[in-house]
Amino acid sequence: MIKDTDVMIVGGGIGGLVLALSLHQIGVNCRVYEGVSELKPLGAGINLLPHAVRELDELGLLPALDAVGIRTKDASYFNHHGQLIYREVAGTAAGYAWPQFSIHRGDLQMLLYKAVLERLGPDSVVTGHKFTLVSQDHDGVTAYFNDHEGNALPKVRANVMVGCDGVSSTVRKQFYPEEGDPVYSGLTVWRGVTSHKPFLSGADTIRAGWMTVGKLMVYPIRDNIDAEGNQLMNWVATLQRPKPTSYDWNGQAKLEDFFEPYSKWQFDWLDVPAMLQKTERYMVYPMVDRDPVSTWTFGRVTLLGDAAHPMYPRGSNGAGQSILDARYMAGCFKRSGVNADALQDYDKERVAATGKVVLMNRANPPDTVLRVVYERTGGKRFNKIEDVISNTELQEILDNYKAVAGFQIKELAKRPSMV
């Protein structure tokens, strides 16, 4: 059977599209197979940390990111009374060679999708292909797909296959059939975007409160969206909730499902209730991940991104780790060829690295700053933050996360390119 491509990518999300661009960069043929009939800009805001932006810059995408996103200037932490706990500068202002971006996930995906079509050609992304099964032999892999009516589509043959099909990965289920549902954290997340005037620096990523009383993350993801100079503001509300019955990332919700804990959050710089109330569409998602596994790679098939290592969205690092996966895999193919040995090299490096991030996001992500202050103050106002926690301890918490996630300034600057 003639091979349709060298690398078959199952899933047209951020990780799959970055992998396609990276393989094109090194001259490896690939094609993306996506289950939906049309790729559309879904979701809400995400942050791209400097280690991920470096990889996108190496793909020549920095001007496109600047056109649709916001360069993050700082990251600030407040209690639920609106008192400042700590602020640190971010991106190039902190000394990185690459910026940090706050961006709508849909804008990023469409940016990547457009780049793939322009560079790889209009047939490089095949939609309406729902993956069902993969088989393999000594010479390659054969993937089976259905259309949306359940009818079998022509088989696809390639040297290797990469499952980039998200937290509910069908590719992963073939190799871990007994794994079951993702692990629920006990926390549920509500998200939305709305027009809002700039506040603080106009490019600040805010974390406020704590899970016990409600945690809120707020940051702008588009500038100057109207004649009044408003920004598109992204917010994420997190509360303790019983285990849900479904795990739809874009599940629909109502304001009353989560509003009460935030109803009196009136800060000098933000009227939280007003921001939440004027949001037109509310999304809900149970915060889940999976326990790290020993391998993602089975012969000529491997996993990438959320299919491999779904993690709590508490370190602004999920999309970033998918991008790092894709770039490192491309480097392995460049060094070893498109074969099972390259996938083993990828597996050895990225399984260990992302496993640490998954566990760190459970135990001590950046919002640990909020937890420590809440516990030490009993949720009450403080007179001086220095009486509660020192700047040194605060910075240590944040630096520890950067070390595990792989974006310390000096280490990132001296690390050779992945590809």
The predicted pLDDT at position 1 comes to: 59
Chain centroid offset of residue 265 CA = 28
- Distance from the first to the final alpha carbon of the chain: 31
In a domain, 266, yes or no: no
In a domain, 94, yes or no: no
In a domain, 251, yes or no: no
The contacts found for 323-326 with CB under 8 angstroms, 24 or more apart, are: 323/14, 323/15, 323/18, 323/48, 323/52, 323/55, 323/56, 324/51, 324/52, 324/55, 324/350, 324/353, 324/406, 324/418, 325/15, 325/19, 325/350, 325/354, 326/15, 326/16, 326/18, 326/19, 326/22, 326/55
Angle made by CA atoms 274, 246, 233, in degrees to the nearest 5: 25
The domain of 359 spans 5-71+102-180+290-364
In a domain, 401, yes or no: no
Provide the residue type at 126 as one letter.
V
In a domain, 261, yes or no: no
In a domain, 405, yes or no: no
In a domain, 234, yes or no: no
Provide the residue type at 167 as one letter.
V
- Tens digit of each residue's pLDDT, the chain (419 residues): 578 999 999 999 999 999 999 999 999 999 999 999 999 998 899 999 999 999 999 999 999 999 999 999 999 999 999 999 999 999 999 999 999 999 999 999 999 999 999 999 999 999 999 999 999 999 999 999 999 999 999 999 999 999 999 999 999 999 999 998 888 999 999 999 999 999 999 999 999 999 999 999 999 999 999 999 999 999 999 999 998 877 776 789 999 999 999 999 999 999 999 999 999 999 999 999 999 999 999 999 999 999 999 999 888 889 999 999 999 999 999 999 999 999 999 999 999 999 999 999 999 999 999 999 999 999 999 999 999 999 999 999 999 999 999 999 999 999 999 99
The predicted pLDDT at position 2 comes to: 72
The predicted pLDDT at position 192 comes to: 97
Instruction: Say which CATH number the domain at 159 has.
Output: 3.50.50.60
The predicted pLDDT at position 47 comes to: 96
* Distance (Å, whole) CA 290 – CA 288: 7
- pTM, two decimals, is 0.97
Number of domains in the chain: 1
The predicted pLDDT at position 181 comes to: 85
In a domain, 374, yes or no: no
Task: Give per-residue pLDDT as tens, 285-315.
Answer: 999 999 999 999 999 999 999 999 999 988 8
